[in-house]
A and B are shown apart, each in its own frame.
Chain A
Amino acid sequence: KQEVTQIPAALSVPEGENLVLNCSFTDSAIYNLQWFRQDPGKGLTSLLLIQSSQREQTSGRLNASLDKSSGRSTLYIAASQPGDSATYLCAPATGKLIFGQGTTLQVKP
């Protein structure tokens, strides 16, 4: 059974900092891994999808890496902004997505 752990659970940083969110998973037989953002009371917004054969994906200020053999992924956010404040969820996909508990990020102006 896939288990997903995200560290840290919460993070508060001043605007402009670069930061790293960590995700680890127990079953490395995944097809891909997605990173999502969730704003309070809202649904999920897909940020990045990394195929199992890929090592990283980039979109704007976001960069996600994947080390499938060790069961780890990181999301790097460059030059953080207050609008980045949200909960970030990672979800490795076997036939279905299994979610971690998320990292709640607060970026202070």
Chain B
Amino acid sequence: GAVVSQHPSRVICKSGTSVKIECRSLDFQATTMFWYRQFPKQSLMLMATSNEGSKATYEQGVEKDKFLINHASLTLSTLTVTSAHPEDSSFYICSARASDRAWGNQPQHFGDGTRLSIL
């Protein structure tokens, strides 16, 4: 089955640090990847849609300069939280959808998430 690997699984760092999270599709190519954020006991909130070779599309209220997304290949997207502060602490999850013209038939496959804690 389709596997999405997300790394690291957990990060603890000081305020002001920039943190990079990687999302890889291991056994399929993904034109589109998605980044979500989840607060405790809440559902997933879509942050941005990442398209290979083009700029990411951010949801309303998400700061693009704060959350930098790069999707340089069909198997890798990265999310960089720049100058992270305690309020950025959260669970970040990526997903990937296989490249297919009939993309509406394709499920999204999710990584295991990254728990980010900013001290």
Contacts and interface: CB of A to CB of B under 8 A. Distances in A.
A43 B110 contact: yes
A41 B107 CA distance: 22
Contacts of B61: none
Contacts of A42: 112-113
The interface size bin for chain B is 20 to 34
Overall SS of chain B's interface = strand
Which of B42, B46, B104, B112 has the most A CB atoms < 10 Å from its CB?
A: B104
Interface residues of A, number: 23
A101 B99 CA distance: 28
B95 to A, nearest CB: 8
Contacts of A44: 44, 93, 95, 110
Interface string B79-119: 00000000000010101000000011101111111010000
B78 interface: no
B108 A46 contact: yes
Interface of B: 6, 34, 42-46, 49, 91, 93, 95, 103-105, 107-113, 115
Interface of A: 31-32, 34, 36, 41-46, 49, 51-52, 89, 93, 95-102
